[in-house]
Every structure is written in structure tokens, then in C-alpha cells.
């Protein structure tokens, strides 16, 4: 029924299909299709629209608008079904369009959309007229908005001009006031500069007079000090002569003996005063103690190295640690990765430190264990065992460099033993007087 009522090729339908629908008409058409969409079964829908069957009308119009418009244009059966649903929903407008006399009070866009779906006779003219009406309405609305915007801009321009005039007058008044204040300040500044120059001249005059008085005072003080020293010297000579005379008379000695004794007392008093002034301690080192020699019962690392022991004999380490004030420096990860590399680093550290603590308790030697800080993924919360100093190298410093710093910090002559298999470390510490020991030797001694 709808197809027979629709316009044929002779009434401009083909020409209308080649042109896009006006936006307002298209939106109303999509709304009509979306509303009638829900009354159809899935089998009655075109294949491309079945995925939107469960959508709400608003979401369907939003996401499937283009697909529904295309299906309505290309699928006559789908359009006929939508037209039937629309006739059921809007019987008055549908009847008016079928009779060729649409309601004058109806919205032109609704009339055009309904005509596009129902396709009555003359539907192309209705759609075209609705598009032209919408364009005229849009143009009129745009003109009204343009006129309103123009009026608003003119009002803003008038306000801006008025504000500019007000600001200009205010700024001119402030500029005049500033000029007057600047002239007053310039006058005050010139007066102040004149006062400063007069004050500087007076100050220079006073300074000259003070320098003259100071020079005269210094000359007088110097003369007085010279006279005082001369008088003190004469007084000292007189006192010395008087004391010598009294002592000679009291002890009955000759004048020569008195002079010798007086000179000796003077030298002794001067020596005692010098010792008190320099705070010199009593003599504690005797000349014999300065001679470089080995005392009985004491051996140096070189003496031990010369004995008939294998380099891999743990007894060498015991003999070195038995030296007075011996200091054992351990390359931590070098030793642990030599002895038990399969263990995690944390367990390697704990095992080695526990063994070194026992060694320190047995030998009484100072023990320092050095680990490479670059090996750490996070800060180590470690309680150093008793008798063992634990050090981690700082960022950018290797454990080898830290070991060499420790060896250089020790005084020359102290026995320092470094346990490491690293040949560079061993050669470096040997050059500064330390004794390198292989990590395997330390591991045998610990086991």
C-alpha cells in the first residue's frame, strides 16, 4: 500500500535520492526509525541492524543512525515495516499525508520526515520545502545571533572606550603628580649631595688632624718606652750589683764566684721558664729505642714469608694474625664467591661474618670485612658481629679501591693482611707494605 502511494521516478524521487537530506529532516527520520525499531523482531530487521536490537532508542539513534538511514533507503521492505509502525503511532499525520493535505500546524520537519518514510504522493516536494524552511530558519537565527553579537560588541567597545578615556585621564593626573614629586626629590637630592660633600670635606680635615695627633702620640709613647727600658735596665743592674754585694758579704765568697753562681741561676731559671712556656713532657723515649731492629719474640711478615710453609697453608694466616696489632682486611664477595657462590648474597654475607667473628675471638686481631656497595639492590639492615668491622663501598667506589684506602690509612710498620684472590688488589696492597693472602687460604682457616 505504501509503495503504491509513493512517488515514482516521474515525481522527482530519483533526484531526491541523489541529494542528501537536510540535517533537521535526517534527525527526525532517524528518530522515527529508532522508535519503530523496537516493535520489530530480530528476523524482521536487516542483517546489519540486528546487533542494535537490544539497544535503548536513544543509544540506538546515537550509535546506529547512519546504518538505519542507509537500511531505510536501500531496503524497501524494512522501510515499509517502519512506515506501518509509524502509521500506528501517528495515525492523524499519516492520514493527512495520504490524503495530500498535511496539518498546517504541524512542524515542517516532522511532516518532511514522515513523508520521507511513508512516501505519499508529492513527498519529495514536502522534504525539499522542509529543507528550505530549515535553511531559512537557520539563516534568520544566524542573522539574529549576528545582530545580537554585533550589538554586544558595540556595547563592549563603547565601555572600553569610556574606560580608556577614564584610565587616560587618571594616568595623566598620576603622571603630573609623579613629575612634581620627581622635581621635589631632585631638589632634595641636590641639597643632600651638597651636605654630603661638605661633610666629607669636614671629615677629611678631622682625619688629618687625628693622624697628626696620633703620630705625635706614637712618638711620645716610643720615647717614653725607650726611657722606661733604659731605666729598668739601670735598675736591674743596680739590683744585681746590690744582690751580688750582699751575697758576697754574707757568704764570704769572692766576687768571681758570685758572678758564676748568678749566671748559673739565671740559666736554670730561663730553662724552667722555657719548659713551662712550651709545656714539654718528661723524656719518655731513650736513644736506644730509635734503632731499627727486631726484638726477640717478634717477627715481621717478611720473616714469616721466608719460612718453609706453602702459600696455601692456613698456618701462614695464623702466624700473620699472631703478630702484635695485626689487622685482617677481607675482600668479602671475593671470598664468598670463591667458597660458596651458589648461595644468595645475603646468606653469603651472614655466613662469612659469622666465621670472621669466631676468628677475631680466637686470634684477637682487628678484622675488617669490605663488600662492594654496587652489588646491593637495597640498603642492608645488618648488625655487625662482635669483633668484625663491616664496610660497604660508596656509590662510584669499588670494594677494591676501599681496601686500598684502608691499607694506606694504616701506619707504616703495622702488620696488615689482605685476603683476596683478585691479583690487582694483591699487587696494589703489596706495594704499600701489606701482605696479600689468597681467599682459599682464609676459607681453609675458617673451615
Tens-place pLDDT, residues 432-444: 889 999 999 999 9
First to last CA, the chain: 107
Q: What is the model's pLDDT at position 444?
A: 92
Who has greater pLDDT, 165 or 61? 165
Q: Which residue from 327, 368, 364, 369 is spatially nearest to 348, judged by alpha carbons?
A: 369
Q: What is the model's pLDDT at position 10?
A: 40
> Rounded to an integer, what is the distance from CA 156 to the centroid of its chain?
49
Q: What is the mean pLDDT of residues 212-239?
A: 88
Q: Which of the residue ranges 47-61, 168-182, 230-244, 276-290 would you say has the lowest mean pLDDT? A: 276-290
Which fold does the domain 301-446 belong to in CATH? Answer: Rossmann fold (3.40.50)
Q: What is the mean pLDDT of residues 346-371?
A: 92
- Note the maximum CA span of the chain: 172
Q: Are 365 and 321 in contact (CB under 8 A)?
A: yes
Q: Identify the residue whose cell numbers are 654630603.
A: 196
CA–CA distance, 144 with 152 (Å, rounded to integer) = 12
What's the mean pLDDT when you consider all of the chain? 78
CA–CA distance, 403 with 443 (Å, rounded to integer) = 19
Q: Which of the residue ranges 76-85, 114-123, 288-297 would you say has the lowest mean pLDDT? A: 288-297
For CATH 3.40.50, the residue range(s) in the chain are 301-446
φ, ψ at 419 (rounded to 5°): -95, 110
Question: What proportion of the chain, given as a percentage, has pLDDT over 90?
Answer: 21
Sheet holding 416-419, edge to edge: 388-392, 366-371, 327-331, 416-419, 435-437
Q: What is the model's pLDDT at position 8?
A: 43
CA–CA distance, 258 with 243 (Å, rounded to integer) = 10
Q: What is the model's pLDDT at position 196?
A: 92
pTM comes to 0.35
What does the block give as the cell for 168? Answer: 587616560
* Per-residue model confidence as pLDDT tens digits over 253-264: 565 665 565 556
Q: What is the model's pLDDT at position 286?
A: 46
Cα distances (Å, whole numbers) of residue 17 to 167, 201, 317, 385: 63, 106, 105, 94
How many Cβ atoms from other residues are within 10 Å of residue 268's Cβ?
Answer: 10
Amino acid at each position: 500500500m505504501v509503495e503504491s502511494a509513493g512517488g515514482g521516478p516521474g515525481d522527482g524521487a530519483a533526484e531526491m535520492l541523489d541529494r542528501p537530506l537536510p540535517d533537521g529532516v535526517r534527525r527526525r527520520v532517524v528518530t522515527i526509525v529508532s522508535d519503530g525499531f523496537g516493535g520489530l523482531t530480530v528476523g524482521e530487521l536487516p542483517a546489519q541492524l540486528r546487533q542494535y536490537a537490544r539497544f535503548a532508542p536513544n543509544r540506538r539513534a546515537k550509535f546506529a543512525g547512519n546504518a538505519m538511514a542507509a537500511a531505510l533507503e536501500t531496503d524497501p521492505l524494512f522501510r515499509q515495516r517502519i512506515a506501518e509502525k509509524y502509521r500506528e503511532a501517528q495515525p492523524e499525520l499519516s492520514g493527512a499525508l495520504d490524503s495530500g493535505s498535511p496539518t498546517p500546524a504541524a512542524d515542517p520537519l516532522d511532516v518532511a520526515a514522515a513523508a520521507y518514510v511513508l512516501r505519499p504522493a508529492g513527498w519529495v516536494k514536502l522534504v525539499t520545502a522542509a529543507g528550505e524552511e530549515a535553511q531559512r530558519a537557520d539563516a534568520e537565527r544566524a542573522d539574529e545571533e549576528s545582530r545580537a553579537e554585533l550589538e554586544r560588541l558595540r556595547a563592549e567597545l563603547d565601555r572600553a572606550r569610556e574606560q580608556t578615556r577614564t584610565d587616560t585621564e587618571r594616568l595623566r593626573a598620576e603622571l603630573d603628580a609623579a613629575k612634581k614629586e620627581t622635581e621635589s626629590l631632585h631638589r632634595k637630592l641636590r641639597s643632600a649631595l651638597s651636605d654630603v660633600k661638605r661633610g666629607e670635606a669636614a671629615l677629611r680635615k678631622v682625619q688629618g688632624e687625628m693622624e697628626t695627633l696620633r703620630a705625635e702620640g706614637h712618638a711620645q709613647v716610643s720615647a717614653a718606652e725607650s726611657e722606661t727600658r733604659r731605666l729598668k735596665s739601670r735598675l736591674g743592674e743596680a739590683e744585681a750589683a746590690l744582690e751580688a754585694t750582699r751575697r758576697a758579704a754574707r757568704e764570704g765568697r769572692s766576687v768571681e764566684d758570685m758572678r758564676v753562681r748568678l749566671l748559673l741561676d739565671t740559666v736554670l731559671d730561663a730553662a724552667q721558664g722555657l719548659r713551662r712556656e712550651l709545656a714539654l713532657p718528661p723524656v719518655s723515649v731513650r736513644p736506644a729505642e730509635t734503632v731499627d731492629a727486631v726484638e726477640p719474640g717478634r717477627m715481621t711478615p717478611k720473616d714469616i714469608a721466608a719460612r718453609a710453609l706453602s702459600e696455601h697453608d692456613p698456618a701462614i694466616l695464623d702466624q700473620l694474625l699472631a703478630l702484635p696489632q695485626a689487622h685482617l682486611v677481607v675482600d668479602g664477595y671475593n671470598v664468598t664467591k670463591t667458597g660458596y657462590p651458589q648461595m644468595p648474597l645475603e646468606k653469603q654475607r651472614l655466613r662469612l661474618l659469622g666465621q670472621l667473628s669466631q676468628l677475631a675471638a680466637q686470634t684477637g686481631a682487628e678484622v675488617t670485612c669490605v663488600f662492594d656497595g654496587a652489588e646491593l639492590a637495597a640498603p642492608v639492615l645488618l648488625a655487625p658481629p662482635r669483633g668484625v668491622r663491616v664496610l660497604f663501598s660508596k656509590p662510584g667506589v669499588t670494594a677494591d679501591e676501599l681496601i686500598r684506602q684502608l691499607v694506606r690509612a694504616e701506619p707504616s710498620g703495622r702488620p696488615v693482611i689482605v685476603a683476596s684472590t683478585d691479583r690487582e688488589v694483591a699487587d696494589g696492597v703489596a706495594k704499600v707494605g701489606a701482605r696479600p693472602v689468597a681467599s682459599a687460604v682464609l676459607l681453609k682457616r675458617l673451615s
